[in-house]
Amino acid sequence: MTLEDELRTTLGHAAERAPHAPQGLPAHIAGRSRRRRIRANALMAAVAVAVIAGGAAVALRGEPPRQPIPAIRPTSTPARITEAEPVEKVWPAAVTKIPGKLRGGAKIRPLKLIGDRSVLFETWESHEKANAIYAYDLEARTSRKITNIRTPKGVFASNWTIGTDRVFWSTIEDGGTGLWSVPLEGGSTERLATVPGRVDTMAVAGDRLAFSVMDGGGVSTLPLGGGKVEAVRGAERHHILSWPWAGTPSDYTPNGETSYEEIVNAETGETNRAVVRAGETWVRCGVLTCVGARPDRTAFMRLRDGTQERDLPEIPMPGIAADRFMTVRFDSAGRGQALLDLATGRSGDLGIRPGDDGGMQVVHPGVGDGRLVHYPLKGENVIIDLSKIT
């Protein structure tokens, strides 16, 4: 795998997932939606051949602890993947499928997992402009509307976050960002606060809602029901990635900075700085692991402290999910993609194949909440819950 191959892949992904637009649109997109910002970052980073390295996020009480990943085994990752069993056969407990559309024809666009049995999804009135959110019960295979989403022209709802009994989101507007919520069971939407700057990520932390600001960083919290906003001490320059950690710089590093090189635990104050060696590029780190490219363009994975390094089949541009999952292309040209578990070396065929025009959607589990992987396939939405892969 060469750097040129990765650039072509990243540019192709950005072109497939984003609307055609005049030069300079990525910056405009970044101000309106975190999801759009991620796509813009991929495009801008590829063009600039930026060095990416990375990070983590901030912690407060209230979130259940994540299961520790198995110890990295340097021999468990295949050098390349030529074929694999379907992902639903490899991990049957983690994979399910839901309809691609509601009965009225609106496309179902998955957002987050709600507990162990439901998926939060949105419908659009126009490109990326949500007009309603729903909950889909994976066991009963039924959906119900939670609420309609009403936003002015040019304002988009994003940063969907699930609490114990409420859904939270943000709207970037003139003069700041609006923070909103609605009961999961349905009801009226409530504006919790309007905060300065552009919020890039949110997380529920106990009885408070935590958020970080895109420009300049900074993590703050406020009560779930609204109230006084308080800054998180020690995270004044940081961005939420995955509770309980926050890091700096963010995932957008146009000048080749190490993304999330420094992380801090917002509850304990513990800090960590990832090991990045001379000549390495496209490096991204999670709370525990880092991935990237060596000077010879071979891909690697290792712990943040620089130990237990091993080779990867290719460079996972957006990083890896839950410190262990990435997608890889089959070694045979144009045959599709597989989900690879770096902790065990197992892989599952996602079922994605090139279309009649030769183009193919690209799935990156490193983009999102670190638990949900989803993609459209043959009129349905494939749902993969990474927390159910052991």
CB atoms within 10 A of CB 25: 15
Q: Which residue has the higher pLDDT, 43 or 103?
A: 103
CA of residue 318 relative to chain centroid, distance: 8
Predicted pLDDT of residue 367: 65
The Cα 136–Cα 304 span in angstroms is 37
Predicted pLDDT of residue 77: 67
Sign of the Cα pseudo-torsion (64, 263, 161, 365, in order) = negative
pLDDT tens by residue, 70-120? 444 545 666 678 889 999 999 999 999 999 999 999 999 999 999 999 999
Stretch 239-254: mean pLDDT, rounded?
A: 87
pLDDT tens by residue, 156-173? 999 999 998 999 999 999
CB-based contacts of 100: which residues, under 8 Å, 6+ apart?
Answer: 107, 108, 376, 379, 380, 381
Q: Can you give the C-alpha Rg of the chain in angstroms?
A: 20
> Which conformational region is residue 378 in: left (phi greater than 0), alpha (psi within -120 to 50 degrees), or beta?
left
Predicted pLDDT of residue 242: 87
| pLDDT over 80 (residue 299) | yes
| pLDDT over 70 (residue 24) | no
> Which DSSP letter does residue 2 get?
-
pLDDT tens by residue, 180-235? 999 999 999 999 999 999 999 999 999 999 999 999 999 999 999 999 999 999 99
pTM, two decimals, is 0.80
| pLDDT over 70 (residue 59) | no
The Cα 60–Cα 252 span in angstroms is 24
Residue 5 pLDDT grade (very low, low, confident, very high; cuts 50, 70, 90) = very low
The Cα 168–Cα 314 span in angstroms is 36
Domains in the chain (CATH in brackets) are 3-388 (2.130.10)
